[in-house]
């Protein structure tokens, strides 16, 4: 078994796994750097279960929250398993290590009243972004990479699909790497039609300002377009925070709009498997997290049904 330092193994892991999303690569790099800091740049074959336990303790000593500790442990484990498959080490040093438990938080969704106030304080472009996420359940990157060709106005759906590197579009793929269709509401349909009419010639992206689109085109021409910009072509979401502030909403983020859409699909009676397909979840357990969040509504409706039975205590 050849000797390879932890840093060398990780560098080769990134070279051999070019298809990893930039977000995954970035998170793995930050976690691996913590691993090297905790254990030293030792040979990967010598990193055992004791070192794995020490790494977990190191993360807690860094005063990271249990969720962050759990996330770092989960990011380094695939690299170790890859090193095992490549013959750099034997076994998985994290096998049997108990991950810290994380308290589940309530899924944040926006009420219809909140959405109305939010939209009232938004520009046309931001209204389109907000409605797309809240009605079609798209992720931020999926919203921003939406093009004219992705919208079927006649059949009433949006295609979330990969983009090729062309003169007008850049290479991009959804998180799940799969093409899926999501519903196009009448409200969003009308708004997208207005946006299409105003698009400059040659710009296919519906959710980007013309200034931002042509700025990205200049980056591409100079060969300076990083992977994170491909995924999130407009990283300035401070305006959304200001929209929330003007609406008097102190908590919440853009991703909660997607959660709102997923929760509504479940509440109207779609099966979890159907919602999983619409949301693009790779794991049904992710969908079931939202199903569990709907229980408050289910309990409320069940209580109404019980009250509607007309049961009265028996009298003698």
pLDDT tens, residue by residue, 214-231? 999 999 999 999 989 999
Residue 105 has pLDDT above 80, yes or no: no
Please name the residues in contact with 192: beta carbons below 8 A apart, sequence gap of 6 or more. 128, 151, 153, 184, 206
Contact assessment for residue 184 and residue 175, using Cβ atoms and an 8 Å cutoff: no
Edge to edge, the sheet with strand 157-160 lists 151-152, 157-160, 180-183
CA distances from residue 106 to 66, 99, 264 in whole angstroms, order as listed: 17, 21, 15
The closest of 124, 142, 125 to 133, measured between CA atoms, is 142
What average pLDDT is seen over the chain? 90
Rounded distance between C-alpha atoms, residue 148 and residue 204, angstroms: 6
Rounded average pLDDT over 186-214? 96
Q: Which of 75-79, 110-114, 280-284, 293-297 has the lowest mean pLDDT?
A: 293-297
Give yes or no for residue 254 having a pLDDT over 90: yes
Q: Could you tell me the CA-to-CA distances from 91 to 35, 49, 133, 281 in Å, in that order?
A: 18, 10, 43, 30
Cβ-count burial of 138 within 10 angstroms (0-12 exposed, 13-18 middle, 19+ buried)?
Answer: buried
Q: Compute the distance between CA of residue 161 and CA of residue 179 in angstroms, rounded to an integer.
A: 5
Q: Which residues make beta-bridge pairs with 158? A: 151, 182
314 pLDDT higher than 70: no
Q: Which residue has the higher pLDDT, 291 or 287?
A: 287
pLDDT surpassing 80 at residue 184 = yes
Cα–Cα dist 82/92, whole Å:
10
Residue 206 near residue 199, CB atoms below 8 Å = yes
pLDDT at 1 over 60: no
Average pLDDT over residues 185-212: 96
Q: What is the pLDDT of residues 25-69, one digit of tens each?
A: 999 999 999 999 999 999 999 999 999 999 999 999 999 989 899
Task: State pTM to two decimals.
Answer: 0.80
Q: Are 55 and 63 in contact (CB under 8 A)?
A: no
pLDDT at 13: 96
CA-CA-CA-CA torsion sign (290, 291, 294, 295) = negative
Is the pLDDT at 267 greater than 70? The verdict is yes
For residue 309, what pLDDT is reported?
46
% pLDDT > 90, the chain: 76
- Check whether 306 has a pLDDT greater than 60: no
CA distance 151 to 135: 14
Average pLDDT over residues 119-138: 96
Residue 175 has pLDDT above 90, yes or no: no
Query: What percent of the chain lies above the pLDDT cut of 70?
Result: 91
Among 21-35, 128-142, 192-206, 283-297, the range scoring the smallest mean pLDDT is 283-297
What per-residue confidence (pLDDT) applies to 303? 57
DSSP, collapsed to helix, strand or coil, labels residue 156 as: coil
Q: Per mean pLDDT, which range of 83-97, 111-125, 187-201, 280-294 is the poorest?
A: 280-294
Q: Judge whether residue 308 has pLDDT over 80.
A: no
Average pLDDT over residues 244-272: 93
């Amino acid at each position: 078994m050849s000797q390879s330092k932890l840093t060398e193994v990780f560098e080769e892991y990134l070279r051999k796994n070019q298809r990893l999303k930039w977000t995954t690569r970035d998170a793995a790099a930050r976690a691996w750097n913590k691993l090297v800091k905790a254990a030293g740049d030792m040979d990967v074959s010598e990193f055992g279960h004791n070192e794995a336990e020490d790494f977990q303790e190191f993360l807690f000593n860094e005063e990271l929250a249990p969720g962050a500790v759990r996330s770092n442990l989960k990011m380094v484990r695939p690299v170790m398993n890859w090193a095992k498959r490549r013959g750099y080490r034997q076994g998985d040093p994290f096998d049997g290590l108990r991950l810290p438990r994380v308290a589940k938080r309530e899924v944040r969704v926006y009420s219809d009243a909140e959405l109305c106030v939010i939209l009232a304080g938004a520009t046309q472009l931001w209204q389109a972004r907000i409605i797309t996420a809240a009605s079609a359940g798209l992720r931020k990157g999926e919203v921003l990479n939406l093009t004219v060709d992705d919208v079927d106005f006649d059949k009433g759906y949006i295609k979330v699909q990969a983009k090729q590197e062309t003169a007008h579009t850049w290479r991009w793929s959804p998180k799940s790497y799969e093409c899926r269709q999501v519903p196009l509401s009448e409200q969003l349909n009308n708004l997208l039609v207005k946006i299409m009419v105003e698009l400059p010639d040659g710009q296919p992206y519906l959710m980007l300002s013309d200034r931002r689109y042509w700025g990205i085109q200049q980056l591409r021409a100079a060969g300076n377009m990083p992977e994170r910009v491909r995924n999130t072509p407009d990283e300035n979401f401070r305006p959304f925070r200001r929209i929330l502030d003007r609406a008097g909403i102190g908590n919440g983020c853009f991703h909660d709009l997607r959660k709102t859409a997923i929760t509504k699909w479940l509440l109207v009676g779609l099966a979890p498997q159907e919602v999983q397909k619409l949301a693009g979840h790779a794991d049904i357990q992710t969908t079931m997290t939202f199903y569990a969040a709907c229980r408050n509504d289910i309990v409320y409706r069940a209580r109404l049904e019980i009250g509607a039975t007309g049961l009265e205590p028996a009298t003698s």
